[in-house]
Structure 1
């Protein structure tokens, strides 16, 4: 994959002014012409590798500071915020958002900070869960150091053992003198895993499925052996209070556990060789559908990238309890609730059956084109009879042609089901499924007729 050119004119301009240099003086130190520097500062030319080297040598410059937009999730993070229904009447498109970020990144960062402090409609300011999710988004749910450490450990465990469950148990026994014991539900009615240092045991509930048992063992190893690595990543985040940091650290521990069960290189090779065949990947790596869905959002290693999947988990009320965009450009998953026209809701009545659907989100700031989505029921903790959710993953239709689950599915945009980001944020005109009017949209009332929808909206395009 070819990396995007680096346009960072405003950052370079601020560096020059900090050094009290004219364009001519700065250009001389960089070995380029003043006119070329002017084009770079106006974002009409990217920063070349040679100019980057000169920046480092002449100004002791940290190249990472040129990507200030990463702090707000790049163009995707900015587009998500501008897609808020409070701005719907302004008609801000993706191109305008890109120009805003490119020409005034600091102002864009200030807007993002103010937006995040206030939060979307219906959210609570300074919500620790929202803060943790924003930090995951800032990293695009890819943590290279954790992937590398997990991959190295996975290679070590598989030198002489083929069964990951046995290998994890042996690791706990040999390295930590801990045995693994499966206990009845009546002994552990409120716990899935418990570390009993007095008995030197990792105790697991009998209600856990085999994939969930393995995941819990991998989590225990992460807590015992890689706490410092996780803490070093978590401490780099700027949280206002400890709950958000603890939630973020919990996500990192789960990330490491999934990376241990599905080591990056081997997992990506299997994805590409099988066309991302979901049932096959579940069996090959001994993981659950939810664990697999999480992992698919993380495949962003430089030079070794997978497809940019998103993943959500929703309940019967359509509320999202998990949302991971990864490198995906999906914005319709940023809403607090989902659209009832999405077949992810059908999965609740068809337990274990994969629901495949091409959808076309609108009024969410997404790019043109459809998304191939796949949804299936999962148990809340991996225990039968527990709370039921649906996990859905998706990828842009233009990237889905070779997927195993796309066979027999038309990827033509005119065959996609239009969906919105939940009724209160959706501005589609004629939707018979609508249950609430959209916030900030003018309603039309006509006593002489009754329309097919419960709320008729003014068509702003007419």
Structure 2
């Protein structure tokens, strides 16, 4: 797979200024020309692998910071904020935003922080001010949902467990018994009403409900083994600078990340992905995981020198309420949009049990994405059953090696989708339910078109 170009001039410029260096001095130390470094800082040249290596060697610089937080969360995050009705009359286009990010990254970041702090905006705004879940998601996206230290510890532990036993569940249970003095007990559902797992420190037991299937039980034990990476996890939590509620949510995410990395070790999982064409059913069987666990793991494959395809993930209920979203390295607006488009077959998955739906879609700014959607019922509920639809996808240009894309013309016609009616300005959509934010609805008693109404500015 061709590597995506990394434009991170803001990070390079920040490092240079922290070191109080001129461009000429830094360029000489890195072995590049001052003019080239100037172009890198202005985002007119990508950061090459050689430059990344030299930054690491000369300044002990963590390369992950290059792909960390783009000013304001990057182009799409700024675009979503500017979709607020209070900016409707400004008509700021994509080129202007690119120039803003390249020429004044500090100003873009300041605008984003001020907007998020104030919490301005109408239905389109998704600022997350005071929302710990939103704050945690931004921190996850800052790392592109890839935590190399956790992957390294999990992979080493997985190799050790694999050498002692061929059964992952049995090996984990034995490790917990010997090293952590914790036994595993499966209990009837009526003994654990409303619970699927519980840690009883008094009895030194990990108690699991009989309602959990084997992937669920294995994952629960892997979560407990995250104690062996507690130092790395605590360092990430401390470095995030979140409030107490945010820390708890972030800790839960990192524990789950470690568990997935233990069940699906990075190197073996990536090789299985590449040799199978990212065959989701095969990956589930090979690693003893469920669809959601595999889908989530696909968003994390961003190890330097061994990257997987850049997937995004989104999970929604029938009412369109999103309960999980990861853009990862994909940068897809579909994972971060303020709303969902009914023309995306993600919503259709609810009525297609045990079937994975594929679709080629095109967003309003011209991005083309190949998506896979599937409905899933989580385990555990004995009364009302919850049901979610999971959508994963990647840029159409990256999808040619997918087994699910065989026979699909990835350059052919795509379904035009938006990010919810309030953020979409497509004029002739038959599915439109509301005008775009900041645009007045127009009605003409003498004629009507495929869409129920027009709107000002179309």
TM-score (norm 2): 0.87
- Tell whether the 8 Å contact from 1:318 to 1:339 is kept in structure 2 after alignment: no
Pairwise mapping of residues 148-227 of structure 1 onto structure 2 (< 5 A)?
Answer: 148-222=152-226, 224-227=227-230
Give a deviation string over 1:184-220, Cα, whole Å, max 9, x none: 1111112111111222211001111211111111111
Q: Distance in 1 between matches of 2:151 and 2:262?
A: 8
Partner of residue 230 from structure 1, selected from 221, 229, 233:
233
Compare 2-11 and 241-250 and name the one that shifted more: 2-11
CA shift at 1:106, angstroms?
1.2
Query: 3-state SS of the aligned residue for 2:255?
Result: helix
Query: 3-state SS of the aligned residue for 1:125?
Result: coil
Partner of residue 246 from structure 2, selected from 227, 244, 249:
244
Q: Distance in 2 between matches of 1:238 and 1:133?
A: 13
CA shift at 1:17, angstroms?
10
- Tell whether the 8 Å contact from 1:377 to 1:388 is kept in structure 2 after alignment: yes
The answer to whether structure 1 residue 102 and structure 2 residue 102 are counterparts is yes
CA shift at 1:6, angstroms?
5.9
- Tell whether the 8 Å contact from 1:299 to 1:307 is kept in structure 2 after alignment: yes
- Tell whether the 8 Å contact from 1:73 to 1:139 is kept in structure 2 after alignment: no
Query: 3-state SS of the aligned residue for 2:272?
Result: helix
Q: CA 1:160 to 1:73, structure 2 compared with 1: closer, same or farther past 3 Å?
A: farther
Residue 394 of structure 1 is matched in structure 2 by 393
Query: 3-state SS of the aligned residue for 1:142?
Result: coil
- Tell whether the 8 Å contact from 1:313 to 1:320 is kept in structure 2 after alignment: yes
The answer to whether structure 1 residue 8 and structure 2 residue 22 are counterparts is no
Give a deviation string over 1:89-118, Cα, whole Å, max 9, x none: 655444433322222121122122223324
**RMSD over aligned Cα atoms:** 3.3
Pairwise mapping of residues 125-140 of structure 1 onto structure 2 (< 5 A)?
Answer: 125-140=129-144
The answer to whether structure 1 residue 437 and structure 2 residue 414 are counterparts is no
Q: Distance in 2 between matches of 1:185 and 1:54?
A: 55
Residue 410 of structure 2 is matched in structure 1 by 411
Q: CA 1:17 to 1:176, structure 2 compared with 1: closer, same or farther past 3 Å?
A: closer
Residue 298 of structure 1 is matched in structure 2 by 300
Compare 389-398 and 103-112 and name the one that shifted more: 103-112
Q: CA 1:349 to 1:64, structure 2 compared with 1: closer, same or farther past 3 Å?
A: closer
Q: CA 1:305 to 1:32, structure 2 compared with 1: closer, same or farther past 3 Å?
A: closer
Q: Distance in 2 between matches of 1:339 and 1:6?
A: 30
Residue 357 of structure 2 is matched in structure 1 by 355
Residue 311 of structure 2 is matched in structure 1 by 309
Q: CA 1:152 to 1:25, structure 2 compared with 1: closer, same or farther past 3 Å?
A: closer
Give a deviation string over 1:149-188, Cα, whole Å, max 9, x none: 1101100100021121111111111112222111111111
Structure 1: gaps spanning 5 or more residues: none
Query: 3-state SS of the aligned residue for 1:226?
Result: helix
Q: CA 1:420 to 1:46, structure 2 compared with 1: closer, same or farther past 3 Å?
A: closer
Q: CA 1:90 to 1:162, structure 2 compared with 1: closer, same or farther past 3 Å?
A: farther
CA shift at 1:88, angstroms?
5.9
Residue 111 of structure 2 is matched in structure 1 by 111
- Tell whether the 8 Å contact from 1:181 to 1:203 is kept in structure 2 after alignment: yes
- Tell whether the 8 Å contact from 2:5 to 2:46 is kept in structure 1 after alignment: no
Give a deviation string over 1:105-157, Cα, whole Å, max 9, x none: 21122122223324564445221111111111111101000111110110010
Q: CA 1:78 to 1:403, structure 2 compared with 1: closer, same or farther past 3 Å?
A: same
Q: CA 1:357 to 1:7, structure 2 compared with 1: closer, same or farther past 3 Å?
A: closer
- Tell whether the 8 Å contact from 1:318 to 1:340 is kept in structure 2 after alignment: no
Query: 3-state SS of the aligned residue for 1:194?
Result: strand
Q: Distance in 2 between matches of 1:39 and 1:411?
A: 34
Structure 2: gaps spanning 5 or more residues: none
CA shift at 1:321, angstroms?
0.7
Q: CA 1:308 to 1:73, structure 2 compared with 1: closer, same or farther past 3 Å?
A: farther
Q: CA 1:331 to 1:201, structure 2 compared with 1: closer, same or farther past 3 Å?
A: same
Residue 254 of structure 1 is matched in structure 2 by 256
- Tell whether the 8 Å contact from 1:319 to 1:336 is kept in structure 2 after alignment: no
Query: 3-state SS of the aligned residue for 1:116?
Result: helix
Q: Distance in 2 between matches of 1:451 and 1:50?
A: 55
CA shift at 1:28, angstroms?
8.3
CA shift at 1:13, angstroms?
8.9
